[in-house]
Amino acid sequence: MPAYNAAQTLRSTHDEVMAQNIVDLVIVVDDASDDETAAIAAELPNTVVHTHPGNLGYGANQKTCYKLALQHDADIIIMVHPDYQYTPRLIPAMASMISSELYHCVLGSRILGGYALKGQMPLWKYIPNRFLTFVENILTGAKLSEYHTGYRAFSRRLLEQLPLEENSDDFVFDNQMLTQILWYGHTIAEISCPTSYFAQASSINFWRSVKYGFGCLWTALVFRLAKMNLLKSKLFPPPP
């Protein structure tokens, strides 16, 4: 759980995660929150807490999460936002899709099943989500329903393979990671996931979203140019 100002929702998310009886260890990385996130995390059972010395960003937060997960011998790693926006009840399903060895990555999609709109995702997020997904599918050649979910499962082997340290420390990290997975030739699986939008579940503001959107387009373009051998990028090194 990459956490930032998640004090009001961290415990509910954590309770529901543990109620699935399948998760061995929860890793909470607190990105120097202004609220009680770190203190609440420290009280949670089966949890490793790491606090960043300053606000390093959402991508930097995930880098720390995955490093810690590998250090703690995780075989299947599930990233979920601790803002209680995605139901942890899908963890067993997502984990079993990884353990089947059919997929190295599974996304909980808010678009499949129409949950984004049913869950009150604002139109100013929904329309760009659909547009970015459309353009990214063309540039990457994948057929995903969305690239922007905060609910993702990975295999250990995948996390060991990806050059995550080359990625941004900001929100576009999420997008760079998915395109890297495609770059290495993996198929990304998706399942439909209910989502709900309420005050604590959504803090990213309009201008940061705009920056993220352009970052996504740039990432997909670099992916395509690298595929065409027109550009070299540290994000997309030659597959071993």
Ligand X SMILES: Nc1nc2c(ncn2[C@@H]2O[C@H](COP(=O)(O)OP(=O)(O)O)[C@@H](O)[C@H]2O)c(=O)[nH]1
Q: Can you read off the two tokens belonging to residue 113?
A: 């099943």
Closer Cβ to Mg ion, 100 or 205, answer by number: 205
Question: CB of 44 within 8 A of CB of 14?
Answer: yes
Q: Toward ligand X, which CB reaches closer, 96 or 202? A: 202
Q: Which ranges constitute the DSSP H helices of 47-153?
A: 58-71, 91-99, 115-118, 123-140
Alpha-carbon span 238 to 240, nearest angstrom: 6
Give least dist CB 66 to Mg ion, A.
Answer: 19
Residues 81-100, interacting with Mg ion (CB under 5 A): 83, 85
**Contacted by 58, from ligand X, Mg ion, none: CB < 5 to 8 Å by type:** ligand X
Asked if 61 touches Mg ion (CB under 5 A), the answer is no
Answer with the entry of ligand X, Mg ion, none that 109 interacts with (C-beta below 5 to 8 A by kind): none
Place of tokens 């991508």: 59
Residue number, 19 or 204, with CB nearest to Mg ion: 204
Q: Which does 57 bind (CB under 5 to 8 A by kind): ligand X, Mg ion, none?
A: ligand X
Residue 146 makes contact with Mg ion by CB under 5 A: no
Q: Which is nearer to Mg ion, 126 or 184 (CB)?
A: 126
208 to each of 148, 204, 217, how far by Cα in Å?
14, 6, 14
Could you say whether residue 201 binds Mg ion (CB under 5 A)?
Answer: yes
Can you give the binding site for ligand X, defined by CB under 6 A?
Answer: 2, 4, 6, 31, 55, 57-58, 61, 81, 83, 85, 150, 201-204
Q: Is 167 in the site for Mg ion (CB under 5 A)?
A: no
The encoded tokens of residue 110 equal 């808010």
Is the Cβ of residue 83 or residue 94 nearer to ligand X in the bound state? 83
The answer to whether residue 129 forms part of the interface with Mg ion (CB under 5 A) is: no
Question: Which strand ranges, in their side-by-side order, compose the sheet holding 26-30?
Answer: 2-3, 26-30, 47-51
Please state, in angstroms and rounded to a whole number, the distance separating the CA atoms of residues 48 and 46. 7
Contact between 159 and Mg ion by CB under 5 A: the answer reads: no
- 174 belongs to the binding site for Mg ion (CB under 5 A): no
Nearest alpha-carbon partner for 48 in 36, 22, 30, 32:
30
Q: Are the C-beta atoms of 17 and 80 separated by less than 8 Å? A: yes
31 binds, among ligand X, Mg ion, none (CB under 5 to 8 A by kind): ligand X
User: Which one-letter DSSP state was computed for residue 102?
Assistant: S
What residue has token string 């027109």?
230
Binds 196, which of ligand X, Mg ion, none (CB < 5 to 8 A, cut-off by type)? none
Q: Compute the distance between CA of residue 117 and CA of residue 111 in angstroms, rounded to an integer.
A: 8
User: Please, which residue, 115 or 223, has the CB nearer to Mg ion?
Assistant: 115
Binding residues for Mg ion, per CB under 5 A?
A: 83, 85, 201-202
